[in-house]
Structure 1
Amino acid sequence: MHALRSLNFLRSRVAAGFNCKVVLAQHPLVVDRQVQTRSERSKHTTEHVRGRRGRILDGTIDLTSEVYAKRLEYSKQLEAKYEQLMAVIRRGGGDKARERHTQKNKKVLPRERLKMLVDNDGEDFIEFSPFAGLGLQYGDVPAAGVITGVGWINGVPCMITANDATIKGGTLYPIGVKKQLRAQEIATLNRLPCVYIVDSGGAFLPLQADIFPGEDHGGRTFYNEAVMSSMKIPQVAIVCGSCTAGGAYVPTMADEAVIVKGIGTIFLGGPPLVYAAIGEVVSAEKLGGADLHCRVSGCTDHYAENEEEAFTIGRDIVNTLNVPSIYDTPSPQYEDPLFPAENLAAFATTGPNQDIDMHKVLAHIIDGSYFHEFKSLYGPTLITGFAHICGHLVGIVANQGSVSHNAALKGAHFVEICCQRDIPIIFLQNTTSSDSPEPADQQRGSEGNALRAKAKLMATIACAEVPKITVVVGGSYHTENLLMCGRSFDPKLLWIWPNATLGVQDDPRDAFYSTARLWDDGIILPQNTRQVLRKSLSVVKHFSESTTTKYGVLRM
């Protein structure tokens, strides 16, 4: 189905006079590019570097050494836990709920809906926080009851939110509201069109005090829809099930809405409430189905006979948004790193306050393992420099120990350069759980100087208007979490390795605790870091424009 859909899309572009040669040759996200093999590059290494200031990083590690072998074994255990939890998440509300959803209610499962909507059957879908909602005080809510992530529709990156009606009928828990609001925040930061696949029973009433009244509660969803629309960020809804109570406003606040005959309904109160109020028996379809809202109320704009047609209409709507598509530009050419991604698992720390050689980590992530380092001899506990990731030029800021006075000044200087040149910044966090003392040659003025330097680094990161992406690869603790663009400093995306620990000095929490509470945008396996960054950069750069960073008062 998707192959035919993509072919029809390309034919339409050819008919319109577009040059589709590069489109047919390669998809910028998924088709293998023409890259040199490692053996081919090794023959030309000297020539490749001659005349350039950077260097090829040495990523060689001994996997049989005690440290790396122990870390690799620990990483395998974490990966097994990750896969086990993902299997739970994919089952949604369980086998009985899934059977009721598909057999009795005749509806498509939410993850199958995603495949029908996006390009490539969802192969490139970036899911956010799949483990959110696990182990909370009110029990387990798989994926927080709502799937969120970025998928490409006709080459346009879109923020997609899909209710999972197999989990308590798609009702929203507090963690589900928080997850949905984070998705809208990411969409706003990156100007991503939003597509809502709606199948929701509204708020989970036993917890309504944590869902309804506050500025960051359920009502904020509708406020965000209106504000994003005013910012010319398109809002599209596809009604594939119930939209009850507050859920009814998602499609009615959207720019365009599709509804499916027979299963899509929109009303503030369903048939049971009508009967309780006035004693009238009415069907859900008659009360708020596709015919009523397409022919009478006008709450929806497109009538679909079935879900497949609904998602085809959704794709057609995205095709009319008049926004850039990845098919409009040729994909970048780049080299693979010299070292295999699988080895990144051997860098997964087994506890807090463990060092990671970030130069070696970078050698496994950046194009050609080639790094143009900035101020390599000054403030060496913070690595700064430029590299390419899958063809994208980025600035990199990575911990190589505690952030010292000099390291903080160097970091602030580098962030300013990235802002001046409109270059996205990747932060790789592995901070210590306590501030280390300054080296003897940096103790003039000592603590006060260090504090001012770190304040400068914080200020430059906070004010930086270029895209910022953070990956926590080890520890992430108190003030150094802030110095490395933690959650409170608004990175456009924040990922975390499964071995990571976060918190204040003596009370660190593991990655699964963190992600269950949406302290991050999701756990990623170390070996997937480069590919996740590739997709992340495609998202944050797609609609980006030249920016001007303005700073407040920086203490001298």
Structure 2
Amino acid sequence: MKVRIGADASREEAEAIASALAEHTDDDEIEVYVGDEPDPVLVREVDLTAPIADDLGPTDREERLREEIADIEEGGPEKYRDRLPEQNKLFVRDRLDLWFGEDGLNFEDGKFAHFDAWHPNSPNVDEYDESDRVPADGMLTGAAEFEGRDVHFMANDFTVKAGSMAKRGTEKFLKMQQRALKTGLPVLYLMDSSGGRIDKQTEFFANREGIGKYYYNHSMLSGRVPQICVLYGPCIAGAAYTPVFADFTIMVEGMSAMAIASPRMVKMVTGEDIDMQDLGGPEIHAKYSSSADLVARDEEHARDLVSQLITYLPDNSDEKPPRSKSKPPVKSPEGIDAVIPEAPNEAYDMEDVIDRVVDHGSYFELQPDFGKEIITAFARVDGRPIGIVANQPDERAGAIFPDAAEKAAQFVWKCDAFNIPLLYLCDTPGFMAGSAVEKEGILEKGKKMIYATSEATVPKQCVIVRKAYGAGIYAMSGPAYDPESTIALPPGEIGIMGPEAAINAVYANKLNAIDDPEERAEMEQQLREEYRQDIDVHRMASEVVIDEIVPPSELRTELAARYAFYEDVEKQRPNKKHGTVL
């Protein structure tokens, strides 16, 4: 702003005029000219970020509101807050501070939920009783910044009726989910709930907008935005469905549990006497049910795990996962061939191969204690997030059992939902056979793995590390399953079955007719060598069944180039409502 004043004006008058104008201008600079002088006598910088000073300040009404907010933020009755340290858990608002820091909590919704029912300032409360405290109705919801990412969150307050859910808290939860559908931003569920508040069930249980709508909304959000759940306590009945509907669930040792019914209810219904940890603790869900992806040591570790996990995920299904700066592997790629045994049945740890392929520090395994014969993990190659599905020869020879097939199917499905390219590292004798696995649904669960692989539209690379026998080559995205490439390392073999089984199946009568043991052994060896030549990857490359045989030390470079080239590949699937397998 430029202002010209009379020629006889003093400097003091110029300063007074500039000060007065500074309170009413949107310009960041005021220039005051005297008379006809070409240069300003005064230049005043205006701080547009500073509020204009006046005599007004917060009123008593505002101070009362602040007192009410502070009271709400104290949580439930003091006796329940005092018990939290004994349970090694944080008060819910301290937990939010751990997750988001002092400045990371953008805002909270519904802080005054159920205020009229308990607060002494409410005209509906005749006599205040601390045992009736239900601040925020035991449910905190809002938006925050986590590791540089905007997220929605919900968190149960265990000091309010054991984190149980009732009408107003349920409405807050539903609003948060519905807003996540609008924004396309991830959701964090920080669960510590004993389930629905039974004495209030008519208010929220079966309503159209009641607790049942949680799981409808979970279903709508599924595959749209990442849903990540951390369990901090025993979540029973309806509360246990949020963790299993989430894309990724972390339990905390000595603290978490989830079950369809409490131990007391289980004993009433079945007569079984069991404690909460044996019924639904972290070991149960990490090793047997597969409902837990990871188990944390404590609250800080749980946050750390999620901070790593979210780096592989986009905000929603329309976006690609975030890239990072490329790092060399933790071990030299030149050692890949040396860690793969020559004999097809000799065990080794597939992680020794992975360590020489992926970026240093990027390997992040999920469900490590469930279905161990298949590895499912996130990692990066040249800074690009990928999902790894790898057979593990160190566990049951890498044969695919029902639990591992289902684990792989779920992981592939999630990677495809969030645009994370897939890397299959194949070294398997195929699906396990026998009456035990048939009872466990090897065919049903095996088809899910094959279906997920077939339906995936993200870029896929299949590497035949060593053996690919039977339908294992199908489940591991072999040539028939629309991978962008099928490449092999020198030990690779692809066949209906391994040499021993094939010889026994095809030549049993011929071999049984040879009486001389030495002659029989020579014939077996000859047949074995002939069969191995037939299934060797050199033969497969010659027939153009596979795309290339790659020197093992160049595998990382090869994969990086192929992922970069096929980054924007588009795949068409038949026009249909949906498949019927998953």
Q: Report the TM range for the smaller structure's normalisation.
A: 0.3 to 0.5
Task: Tell me which of the two structures has the higher relative contact order, counting C-alpha pairs closer than 8 angstroms and 6 or more residues apart.
Answer: 1
- With the length of structure 2 as denominator, give the TM-score of the two structures: 0.43
- With the length of structure 1 as denominator, give the TM-score of the two structures: 0.45
Between Structure 1 and Structure 2, whose CA radius of gyration is higher? Answer: 2
